[in-house]
Structure 1
């Protein structure tokens, strides 16, 4: 009986081992496979932690990752970068599209070429992107509204700075205003202006808003660049205007610690990059997936439509030290986007 048992185990071992090896092999990519991350205003610090974790996932999978984008806030130029990357026939593309509609055709064309595209932060929902990794933009706006209203005792005037046309920013602004209207009826929206991530425009807008509305108590914006100008204007006015925003960078963190900025909601960028890379890899190697649906017959990518919430953090003067990019890089011992 013992001999029979031992013989059976040996046979099972021979039968199982090759299968296990085959199952594990798909997660060992090739260094020749390149996955690109495309941004706009590419020097903005927000993108760097996203790429840092995309890069780590790529290293773990054994593939190459590349950071690129356009330094301008210009959808035409971001589209041009997308086309340049597409011409290199990459294995996959991770992108935060500045506007959703202009990217429908190029993303669909990439899909037809067999190049999966994953969006993060901002989306192009009507395109054939295979996945979208984001924080809940509506929740961000709601959390920001609650924080501001509670700090003001539920009563007062507020304004918003916005970047019309950028999907994720529009959602944050709409959710912020909607939350105020539904949960804080004594909070009054008195002004809104387009700053388009320009600190100078934000600075001038806040000065004009405050002049027209002397009781202005708070201002919200869906990104960090505008907050640099807004916070400077609020500081000069010295009327106690609370500056609330989303995203952080070194200057914003310094302002938070100095009390010049009220608070910020920061999406978990690392999860955006890490899960974005994982989704790209799985979509580019979709033959390893056999779900219970008709995609194997239709030729569709089984990852089409996946949406992942990366979560968010509320950044205040108390926890700001954990969000400095240079300290993060020093702890990790890497060169960030240069790698």
Structure 2
């Protein structure tokens, strides 16, 4: 009886505190909306890549709902120096915030920190620069993606077999997708043997050459795991040219690999929820630019850091197979937008 009374009293106290906090929050300075002309940018490398399209659509949807302006920026090249230059050019324009996909982590530390020091909110997405002062990072769980792919390979091929991976060294999410799968295979499915590992750097031609050589050197190759879609385009072409039967799984999606999935030449793609990534990427960037919207229970007032810290947010991922491929048609998605 005493225990129940104490619990009831505690609950009443918590309710009173929460009620008081809610009233105070409602009267806090600022509003969950943009001032006229308030602008947010999204910055990427290889700006023509179809991956960015649904991400930016989600970014724009969130911006519109808050009365903000949204712009898309970046560089058409896969070149870290040029992406940093495009990012710094955007910083000069003084947007309120930038949602950034850093091609590489460490080279972006100083540019990100300088942007933040100038009063610009920075959120990273899909790839990170964790040593920088960015306030938020949104991505799919790359380790979970890799484990799902590994388990699927074993589910189809059995506990013993040969597999290979293609790589894009230096891009954090791609690195994690590869290393996590290799490590997980080694500990959970030791009967699966890694027989080849080649950097193709999102280049379909390099992937074609690499996979052609792998097939010649490893006639029993049963599966390929690829951390992005560009290399998957070359890989499937090489497998088809060699008239081999190889289980191909890759992360992300392009119209070309989607078509190969529909035809049954690629087993599946594991694709981040791009629209959610863009939508929540914007929200996190907006919150980083408006820390006055919250008075969190921490030491930000004495330490001086931005209280809107979100070290990692998982936007989830979808599994694309022949059965649901039509739902991921980019042309259909973009109709009427």
Q: Deviations over 1:159-216 (max 9, x none)?
A: 1110111111000000111111111111110011110000000000000011111111
Equivalent residue number for residue 280 of structure 2: 275
Aligned length: 315
Superposition deviation, residue 117 in structure 1: 0.4
- 8 Å CA contact 1:115, 1:284 repeated in 2: yes
Of 294, 297, 304 in structure 1, the residue corresponding to residue 299 of structure 2 is 294
Equivalent residue number for residue 86 of structure 2: 81
Q: Residues 85-124 of structure 1: matches in 2 within 5 Å? A: 85-124=90-129
Q: Specify the SS of the correspondent of 2:31.
A: helix
CA RMSD of aligned residues (A): 1.6
Equivalent residue number for residue 262 of structure 2: 257
1:329 paired to 2:326: no
Equivalent residue number for residue 30 of structure 1: 35
Q: Which runs of 5+ in 2 are unaligned?
A: 1-22
CA–CA distance in 1 between the matches of 2:222 and 2:46? 30
Q: Specify the SS of the correspondent of 1:240.
A: coil
CA–CA distance in 2 between the matches of 1:22 and 1:69? 39
* 287-296 vs 114-123, greater mean Cα deviation: 287-296
Q: Which runs of 5+ in 1 are unaligned?
A: 1-17, 335-339
Equivalent residue number for residue 172 of structure 2: 167
CA–CA distance in 2 between the matches of 1:242 and 1:259? 10
CA–CA distance in 2 between the matches of 1:250 and 1:295? 45
Of 229, 241, 247 in structure 2, the residue corresponding to residue 224 of structure 1 is 229
Equivalent residue number for residue 131 of structure 1: 136
Q: Specify the SS of the correspondent of 1:43.
A: coil
Of 188, 194, 197 in structure 2, the residue corresponding to residue 189 of structure 1 is 194
CA–CA distance in 2 between the matches of 1:194 and 1:21? 53
Provide runs of 4+ in structure 1 moved above 6 Å: 18-21
Q: Deviations over 1:65-115 (max 9, x none)?
A: 001111111111110111101111110000111110001111111111111
